[in-house]
Amino acid sequence: MHLSPTLENRLMALEIKASFAEDLLDKFDQIVIRQQDQIDRLTREVLALRQRAPADDLPTSRNLRDDLPPHY
């Protein structure tokens, strides 16, 4: 089967576009992998910081009157 030159050119253009799209998809995949690794590291770091922080540092319910200066 022989393709007309126009059809052959169109087919070649589509193959080139598909090749570029595949390359771009591979790059995006690598970006997503790196970002997921960074999210995992940051999540572990936050958990470690939460474990190191004393429980006394957690906000508790307070009476706003306790924050008034002594002259009130």
Q: pLDDT tens-digit profile of 27-70? A: 999 999 999 999 999 999 999 999 998 766 556 666 776 777 77
Query: Which pLDDT score is estimated for 57?
Result: 58
Under 8 Å between Cβ of 44 and 36: no
Question: What span, in angstroms and rounded, lies between the C-alpha atoms of 67 and 11?
Answer: 75
Which H or E run contains 21? Answer: helix 5-52
**Tokens standing for residue 72:** 């009130």
pLDDT digits (tens, 9 = 90+) for 17-29: 999 999 999 999 9
- The candidate with the shortest Cα–Cα distance to 41, out of 51, 52, 33, is 33
**What gap in Å lies between CA 48 and CA 6, rounded to an integer?**
63
